[in-house]
Structure 1
Amino acid sequence: MIKKAIIPAAGFGTRSLPVTKVVPKELFPIDNKPSIQYVVEEAAAAGIEQILIIVSRSKNLIIDYFDHSMELEMFLQKANKSALMEKVKLPDIKFYSTRQPFARGLGDAVRLGREFVGNDPFAVLLPDDIIVGGGLEELTKVYNETKSHVVALKTVEEEFLKNYGVVQVKQERDDVYEVLDIIEKPQTNPPSNLAVIGRYVFNPSIMDALDEQKPGAGDEIQLTDSIKKVLDSEKCHGKLLSGERYDIAMTEEYIALQRYLQDMKK
C-alpha cells in the first residue's frame, strides 16, 4: 500500500505571473478552495496518510493553510458559526514540509524527500495538475498489481507533445502500458502520443537515480531523466487516466475547470 506522498510546490510559477509574485499558484482559488486542497483530497482518497510538501522561502502560506487556525476556530465557536467549522477542517493526513533552497528542477525537489520516504514506495503529485475523476487511486492499483514504478499518461495532440515527457510503450491492456523509453520535451519525432502528466508512484530506488542525476534540460535535475535511467534495470508502467486533467497554470484551463465545477452544481 502507498501511504506517503510528496507534493513539490517550490516553483516560481512563472507561467502565471504577475499574480504569483505574491500568491502561490497552489493557492489559486477553485470554487472557494485552494487548488492544492484538491490534490491533497485526491491523495487522501487514494489512501495516503503522510504528505511532504516541498516549498521555497516565499511559499510559507501553503504550510500555514494546512495548519490549525486557533484564532479563527475560536471566533467561529464564539460567534455561533460552528457550522462553518466543516469548511476549515483539515484532511486526516499528517503534513510535513521542507524547503528547496534553489530552483534546481522537479527531480531535485523530489529527492529532498529521501529521508521522508525511507524504504517505502511513495507517490508524487504535481499541484499544477487537477484531475477530475480518476487520478492517483488508479496508479496505486497498478502499483499494487505490478510493484513497479507507475506514471500517469494522457493522450496529447502531436503539436503539443514538445511540452511534455513522452513515452515509448508496449501495451499490456486497454489503459495500462509498459514504458520502454521516455523523452523529455521531444522537439521532433515523439515516440508516441502519450505524455506523462503530474501523477507518479515510485519505488524508493528512484532516489538513487535522482542522487546520481546530472542537470539536464534547463540546467535542472529532471525527474524524467531519472525515470529513463531506472528503465535500464527496473520496470515502469504507464496508466492512461480516466479522469480529465486541467493544468491550472494555463489561464484557459483554469477558467475551464471553474466553469466545469460550477456546471456540476446545476
Structure 2
Amino acid sequence: MVFKAIIPAAGYGTRNLPITKAIPKEMFPINSRPVIDYIVREAINAGIKEILIILSRNKTEIMDYFDRSIELEWFLTKHQKNSMLQGIEPPKVCFQYVRQPEALGLGHAVQLGQTFVGDDPFVVLLPDQLCLKQPPPLRKMIKLYEQYKRPIIGLQSVEKELLQNYGVISGIQIQAGVYRLTSIVEKPKMDPPSQLAVMGRYILTPKIFAALDQLKAKDGGELQLTDALNDLCQKDAAFGYVFKEKWYDTSIESEYIHAQYHAYKMNKQS
C-alpha cells in the first residue's frame, strides 16, 4: 500500500512575481483555503497517512497554516464563535518538513525525502497542479500501482503549443488510458514525442533515488526528476495514467482565476 507523500514547495515562484516575494504561491487562496490545502486533502482522501513538505526558509507560512493556533482557538471560543473551530482544525495526517537550502530542482527536492521514504513506495504531488473533481484521481493511480508495482506517472493530453512547458512522454498504450512509457523528454522545444504531458502526480519507488544519484546536474545546477524517470523507463519499467479530469496550473494567472471560479460554483451548488 502507498501511505507516504512528498509535496515539494520550496520554489521561488518566479512566474508569479512580485506577489511571491511575500506570499508563497502554494498559499494563494481558493474559496478561503490555500491551494496547498487542496493538495493535502487530495492526498488524505487517497489514503495517505504521512506527508513530507519540502520548504525553503522563506515559506514558514505553510508550516503555520497546518499547525494549531492556540490564540485563535481561544479567541473564537471566548467570543462564542465555536462553529468556526472546525474550519481551522489541522488535517488529520502526520506532517514532516525538510528545508531545501538551494533551488536545485525537483529531483533534488525529492532526494531530500529519501530518509522519510525508506523502503516504501510514495506519492509526489506538485502543489500548483490542482484538480477540483471529487474524489480526486490519485486513488486510481494508486490502484494502478498496486497492479503493476512500478512507477505510475500522471498524464494529460495538452495542446501542441503548450508542450514546451511540460515533460512529454512516448510510450505504448496497453489498456484504455494506460501507457507503458519508453521515454520522457523535459520541455521539448521542437518535435515532442506525443501530446501527453506529465501532470504533477507521481507514484514512485525507492529506485528513483539511485537514478537521481547517477544524474549530473544540468546547467544552473538543477537536478531534474524527469531525467531520472526517463532512465527508469529505459532500464526497468514505468507506466503512465491519462487523466480525464480537468486540471489547473495555479501558477498561471488565467488558470488560477478559472480554478477560483470553478471552486466558487461548486461551493454554491453544495
Inter-partner Cα distance in structure 1 for 2:98 and 2:35: 20
Q: Which position in structure 2 is the counterpart of 1:117?
A: 117
Q: Which position in structure 2 is the counterpart of 1:215?
A: 217
Can you list the C-alpha shifts for 1:156-178, whole angstroms capped at 9, x where unaligned?
11111111100001001111111
Letter matched to residue 50 of structure 1: E
Inter-partner Cα distance in structure 2 for 1:61 and 1:153: 30
Q: Which runs of 5+ in 2 are unaligned?
A: none
CA contact (8 A) 2:183 2:234 kept: no
The count of aligned residue pairs is: 266
Can you list the C-alpha shifts for 1:209-253, whole angstroms capped at 9, x where unaligned?
112221126541000000011123321010011221100110000
Letter matched to residue 149 of structure 1: P
Segment drifting more, 66-75 vs 52-61: 66-75
Q: Does 1:160 align with 2:162?
A: yes
CA contact (8 A) 2:132 2:263 kept: no
Show the 5 A alignment for 1:1-150.
1-133=1-133, 134-150=136-152
Change (3 A) 1:131 1:217: farther
Q: Does 1:263 align with 2:255?
A: no
Inter-partner Cα distance in structure 2 for 1:254 and 1:27: 12
Q: 1:77 Cα shift?
A: 1.5
TM-score of the superposed pair, with normalisation by structure 1: 0.97
CA contact (8 A) 2:156 2:244 kept: no
Q: Does 1:181 align with 2:199?
A: no
RMSD value, Cα: 1.1
Inter-partner Cα distance in structure 1 for 2:14 and 2:224: 18
CA contact (8 A) 1:138 1:241 kept: no
Select which of 169, 172, 175 maps to 2:171.
169
CA contact (8 A) 1:10 1:55 kept: yes
SS of equivalent residue, structure 2 residue 152 = strand
Percent of aligned pairs with the same amino acid: 47
Inter-partner Cα distance in structure 2 for 1:243 and 1:42: 14
Can you list the C-alpha shifts for 1:39-71, whole angstroms capped at 9, x where unaligned?
000000110000000000100111111111111
Letter matched to residue 209 of structure 2: M
Letter matched to residue 9 of structure 1: A
Q: 1:74 Cα shift?
A: 1.5
Q: Which runs of 5+ in 1 are unaligned?
A: none
Inter-partner Cα distance in structure 2 for 1:5 and 1:97: 12
SS of equivalent residue, structure 1 residue 102 = coil
Can you list the C-alpha shifts for 1:175-205, whole angstroms capped at 9, x where unaligned?
1111111111111111110000110000111
TM-score of the superposed pair, with normalisation by structure 2: 0.96
CA contact (8 A) 1:52 1:113 kept: yes
Select which of 229, 234, 243 maps to 1:227.
229
CA contact (8 A) 1:216 1:225 kept: no
CA contact (8 A) 1:135 1:199 kept: no
Can you list the C-alpha shifts for 1:87-141, whole angstroms capped at 9, x where unaligned?
1011110000010000000000010000000000000000011112233212111
CA contact (8 A) 2:130 2:249 kept: yes
Inter-partner Cα distance in structure 1 for 2:231 and 2:220: 18
